């Protein structure tokens, strides 16, 4: 019986990793999203913030409702902030100023279906935020591809958009394309160099996305530095993206995007540090994490390059979630003192 606990001692050597309790792990994740949220809001307006606030509120509300139905203690569970994290992560993934009902539907899928129906925190096989995102993407593609170009903090029609009262006809006029979107739909006949020469995106779009990506990187590094997440999954995912994107690019530079373009647009960095690292739905051993991260990176590049969707972090993560039980089974480390067994006999 261990009577000492890392979170309760304040006289441990500073070199010893002090692990904060689960609730503060979650709070650190939220803190680490702040640079990303701030940068996104700066470029894409307050619609980003409204997404996050609405999704977080829905998250807490649905969690509380299900907990009440399941007759579980409300206070302690809500206090762990995990529903809040799911809300924030789904909120930033949606196009800015998404209508409230869209966010609500997404959060029902995330919290009620993907998390609580499977038994709550720690039991869900799939990443809740990505289940919500994938459901919205396949159910409401029109709304999910409405990504406005960089604009002021308070774009016109913001409130109507959030309230969902904006006529559909007007929606199109608001929308732009993300760089990944534009590149995906450039057409077979157009060479990459010609495409870029056309200046296909509104001014500042590409640099806005790059800044956002770097902000997520900063937040992610904070998490790694604070030992909230381990480096294995982000490094493996970004590494395999880089490798595969380079291979594609070298095979045909005129059709495939450059590796840097892949890393600095879309959800690559955000996904690597904030989505793929969800410990509950990720592989557990270090070796398993490396394979898991590499698998996500590979799937992202494959779907982006030859699949039907411009970005693919959600699908890649969900697909690899499916593989986690298998990975966990085949990546059991060999305890010290156990004989080396041939791979076939390894449990």
Taking alpha carbons only, the member of 96, 114, 4 closest to residue 59 is 114
- Does residue 12 belong to the site contacting another protein (CB under 8 A)? yes
With CB under 8 A as the contact rule, the residue among 68, 101, 123, 225 that binds another protein is: 123
Residue 289: CA atoms inside 13 Å, Cβ hemisphere, count? 18
With CB under 8 A as the contact rule, the residue among 337, 342, 343, 344 that binds another protein is: 337
With CB under 8 A as the contact rule, the residue among 31, 121, 160, 218 that binds another protein is: 121
- The least distance separating another protein from the CB of residue 119, rounded to whole angstroms, comes to 9
- Does residue 17 belong to the site contacting another protein (CB under 8 A)? yes
Q: Which is nearer to another protein, 227 or 255 (CB)?
A: 227
- Does residue 285 belong to the site contacting another protein (CB under 8 A)? yes
With CB under 8 A as the contact rule, the residue among 280, 294, 313, 318 that binds another protein is: 280
- The least distance separating another protein from the CB of residue 7, rounded to whole angstroms, comes to 7
Q: How far apart are the C-alpha atoms of 345 and 158, rounded to whole Å? A: 60
Say which DSSP state 118 is in: G
Say which DSSP state 207 is in: H
**Partners of 147 in beta bridges:** 176
With CB under 8 A as the contact rule, the residue among 9, 69, 247, 260 that binds another protein is: 9
CA angle 242/223/28 to nearest 5° reads 145
Residues 6+ apart with CB under 8 A from 181: 145, 147, 310
- The least distance separating another protein from the CB of residue 10, rounded to whole angstroms, comes to 8
| Contact between 311 and 184 (Cβ < 8 Å) | no
Say which DSSP state 147 is in: B
- Phi, psi at 49, each rounded to 5°: -65, -40
- Does residue 20 belong to the site contacting another protein (CB under 8 A)? yes
The number of beta carbons lying within 10 Å of the beta carbon of residue 222 is: 19
- The least distance separating another protein from the CB of residue 148, rounded to whole angstroms, comes to 35
Q: Which is nearer to another protein, 29 or 269 (CB)?
A: 29
**Residues contributing to the site for another protein (CB under 8 A):** 1-9, 11-13, 15-17, 19-23, 25, 76, 80, 82, 120-123, 230, 279-280, 282, 284-286, 289, 328, 332-339, 347
């Amino acid at each position: 019986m261990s009577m000492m606990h890392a979170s309760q001692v304040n006289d441990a050597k500073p070199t010893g990793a002090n692990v904060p309790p689960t609730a503060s792990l979650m709070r650190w994740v939220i803190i680490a999203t702040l640079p990303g949220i701030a940068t996104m809001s700066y470029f894409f307006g307050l619609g980003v913030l409204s997404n996050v606030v609405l999704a977080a509120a829905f998250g807490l509300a649905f969690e509380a409702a299900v907990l009440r139905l399941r007759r579980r203690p409300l206070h302690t569970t809500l206090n762990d902030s995990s529903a809040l994290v799911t809300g924030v992560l789904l909120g930033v993934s949606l196009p800015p100023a998404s209508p409230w009902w869209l966010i609500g539907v997404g959060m029902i899928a995330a919290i009620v279906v993907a998390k609580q129906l499977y038994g709550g925190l720690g039991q869900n096989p799939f990443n809740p935020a990505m289940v919500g995102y994938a459901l919205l993407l396949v159910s409401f593609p029109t709304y999910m591809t409405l990504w406005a170009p960089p604009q002021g903090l308070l774009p016109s029609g913001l409130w109507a958009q959030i309230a969902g009262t904006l006529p559909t006809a007007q929606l199109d006029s608001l929308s732009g394309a993300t760089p990944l979107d534009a590149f995906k739909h450039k057409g077979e006949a157009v060479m990459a160099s010609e495409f870029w020469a056309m200046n296909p995106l509104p001014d500042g779009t590409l640099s806005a996305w790059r800044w956002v990506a770097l902000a997520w990187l900063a937040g992610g590094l904070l998490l790694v530095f604070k030992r909230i997440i381990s480096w294995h999954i982000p490094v493996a995912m970004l590494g395999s993206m880089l490798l595969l994107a380079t291979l594609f690019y070298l095979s045909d530079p005129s059709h495939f995007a450059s590796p840097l373009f892949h890393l600095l647009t879309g959800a690559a960095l955000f996904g690597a540090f904030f989505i793929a690292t969800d410990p509950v739905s990720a592989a557990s051993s270090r070796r398993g994490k490396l394979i898991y991260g590499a698998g996500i990176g590979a799937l992202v590049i494959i779907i982006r390059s030859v699949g039907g969707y411009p970005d693919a972090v959600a699908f890649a993560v969900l697909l690899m979630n499916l593989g986690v039980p298998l990975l966990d089974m085949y990546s059991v480390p060999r305890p010290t003192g156990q004989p080396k067994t041939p791979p076939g006999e390894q449990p």
